[in-house]
Structures are given as C-alpha cells and as structure tokens.
Amino acid sequence: MTQRTNFDKELDRLKLTLVEMAELVSANIKEGLSSFLKMDTEIAEANIKKDKLVNEYEQTIEKDCLRIIQREQPVAKDLRFITSVLKMVTDLERIGDHAADIAKMTIFMEKTHSSFFVNDIEEMTTVCQKMIKQAIEAFISTDKEIASAVIETDDIVDDLFESTKAKVAEAIRNKKVDADFALYLMMVAKYLERIGDHAVNIAEWVIYSITGERL
C-alpha cells in the first residue's frame, strides 16, 4: 500500500467522523425543539448531556487533523481540506452548544406554564437541519453549487426570525403571552438564527476547500 493511499484513507476517516458529528448535532437540534414543543424537561436534560458527545467529536477531529498535518505535511488542496475540517468542526460544536441552549430554555419556560407558540420556530428548525445536511453533503461530494445553495437558504431563516419577532411583539401588545415566556421564546428563535449562520460558515469553508477562495 502506497503512502498516498494511506493518506487518502486518513482523509476519508476524517470525512466520516465529521459526518457523524454533523448528524449528532442535527439530531440534537430536533430533540431540543421537541423538548420545547412538549415542555418536556426530561428530554431537555438528556439533550443537554448529549452536548458532551459533540465536544468529544470536536476534540477527536482536531487531534486527528493536527496529527495528519505533523506527519504528512500536506500542501495545496490537501492542506485546504484539513484546514476546512478544523474550521467546520468549530461551527458544528457551536451548533451543538445552541441545541443545548434551546433545551435549557425549555427548562426555564416550563415554569411559566404558557401555551403560546409561533409555528415559524418549528420551520426554522427544519430549514436549519436541511442547511447542515446539505453543507456536509457538499463537502463530501465537493459540490460548490450545493454549498452556494446553503448560503442562499439563510435568507429564509432570517425571514422566519423576523416573522417570529413580529408575532411575539404583537402577542405582548395584546397580552396574549407572559413576558418572561416571550423573552425565552425569542432566545430560542435567536439560537436557531445563529445555527443558520454557522451552517453558512460551514458552506463557505466547503467552497474554500474546493476553490481556495474564502468568501
């Protein structure tokens, strides 16, 4: 087996671990929102604990990247690939943090016993999950077009956030929602908006890994 073949296998393992991490954070987002929709603190607490697994993935991938750089001393496209992985794993870790933050808001909001909800938040979650999935798909298939589509999709998340903000403000004016609950609700929406931003960052690093151009 040639040295290059071994190197390619290591890069493939990096891809696989990154995909596993992305699938975990995506599932955590959905679970965090589920705890929120159901006001289920048991689900929320389990979700918060899972964030430790995300952090472990981050540490493992970072160590593997640094080990490969030290031993193989990659250049050009290979170095861009590894650099992009290091950057993407940071964004995935932050997404994991925000998924846990949403679960924490569930624990706080459960005490208000409010039933007010904005459907746009559930749609934001679906769009954010799709963005993460597509960004990783673009990375695996080295598809610049898919990565570009992820960046454009962020406008939808931003529009949903603004819609949520307007609906919550109207509900406050009409005294249809508890003030504390409204605050926590907007924090959940903001976490989702930030998740969308991190998905965009991942897509931009995918483009960098393919073209060498940083958006």
Nearest-CA neighbor of 74 among 7, 140, 146? 7
CA distances for 186 relative to 26, 88, 200, angstroms: 20, 26, 21
pLDDT of residue 3: 64
CATH code for residues 3-211: 1.20.58.220
Task: Tell me the per-residue pLDDT of 174-214, one tens digit each, with 9 for 90 and over.
Answer: 999 888 888 889 999 999 999 999 999 999 999 999 999 88
The full set of domain ranges for the chain reads 3-211
Dihedral sign for Cα atoms in the order 177, 180, 183, 185: negative
pLDDT < 50 positions in the chain = none
